[in-house]
Structure 1
Amino acid sequence: MTQTIATLTLVVADYDAAITFYRDQLGFALLVDTDMGSGKRWVVVGPARGNGARLLLAKADGAQQAAAVGNQTGGRVMGFVETDDFAGDHAGMRARGVKFLEAPRQEVYGWVAVFVDLYDNKWDLIEPRR
């Protein structure tokens, strides 16, 4: 039996703002946007040219979920966008307004730079050493 972690939930404050960030600034594809009624939508985004997990953008429902927006991992890096063209993706993301918290650096595992999404969740852009 083969198993894959296919989709992870990311709690957001607003569907459309999150779609705009992940699609227009990160370059992800909008894979699904289905109205589920009562103001809820099933919204899935993922890398436009690649494999791996997708994100279910789930609008916060209630105070507890709203408090988690932007702090879903307690301030740690929550996700890793892996690339085979670090320099090109880094330059493109910066040109589209993605905020990086540091300059690119080379580590023993590859090139990396931390960026934040529209809610200040931390992400790594990484090109692993092959």
Structure 2
Amino acid sequence: MPHLAHIALIVRDYDEALAFYTGKLGFTLVEDAYQPAQDKRWVTIRPPNAPPHATTILLARATTPEQAVAIGNQAGGRVILFLATDDFARDYAAYRAAGVNFVRPPATHDYGKVAVFEDVYGNLWDLVEFAER
């Protein structure tokens, strides 16, 4: 059955991206393997406590000028990824304490609680606790 295996996120530097995602957001490093034929690394991460076969984010280092231009703006200024949580207050407080920059404060909507933060490159993310339906 088809499913999303990875979502590519263009980054400037693997280690810089890993420091943010694993160090500040607590993501898990799934794989970091050097690919000598292409002189790149295959680096995948997933949110903390995600199931082992959950979709991962592939940190893809920009290798062309066109790719470099997209760093931090892959969604044209819109939120690109949605990080669901089971405890908004806990994770919002932990991310703020870790120095994550929230560009929109917490708000409550019919669908749940949400705040928008930016990653190390400026990509926008929703931290969201969905309301029970």
Q: State the TM bucket, normalised to the shorter chain.
A: over 0.9
Q: CA deviation at 1:116?
A: 0.2
In the alignment, residue 74 of structure 2 is paired with which amino acid? Q
Q: CA deviation at 1:76?
A: 0.4
In structure 2, what is the equivalent of residue 5 of structure 1? 4
In structure 1, what is the equivalent of residue 84 of structure 2? 82
Q: What is the number of residues matched between the two proteins?
A: 129
In the alignment, residue 69 of structure 1 is paired with which amino acid? I
In the alignment, residue 35 of structure 1 is paired with which amino acid? Y
Normalised by the size of structure 1, how large is the TM-score? 0.95
- 101, 104, 107: which one pairs with 2:106? 104
Name the CA distance, whole Å, in 2 between partners of 1:35 and 1:3: 27
Q: CA deviation at 1:117?
A: 0.1
In structure 1, what is the equivalent of residue 119 of structure 2? 117
| Between 114-123 and 4-13, the greater mean CA deviation after superposition | 4-13
Percent identity, aligned pairs only, is 47
Any unmatched runs of 5+ in structure 1? Answer: none
Does 2:2 align with 1:27?
Answer: no
Q: CA deviation at 1:39?
A: 3.3
Alpha-carbon RMSD across the aligned residues, in angstroms, is: 1.0
In the alignment, residue 126 of structure 2 is paired with which amino acid? D
In structure 2, what is the equivalent of residue 44 of structure 1? 44
| Between 113-122 and 3-12, the greater mean CA deviation after superposition | 3-12
Q: CA deviation at 1:115?
A: 0.2
Any unmatched runs of 5+ in structure 2? Answer: none
Moved over 4 A (4+): none
Q: CA deviation at 1:65?
A: 0.4
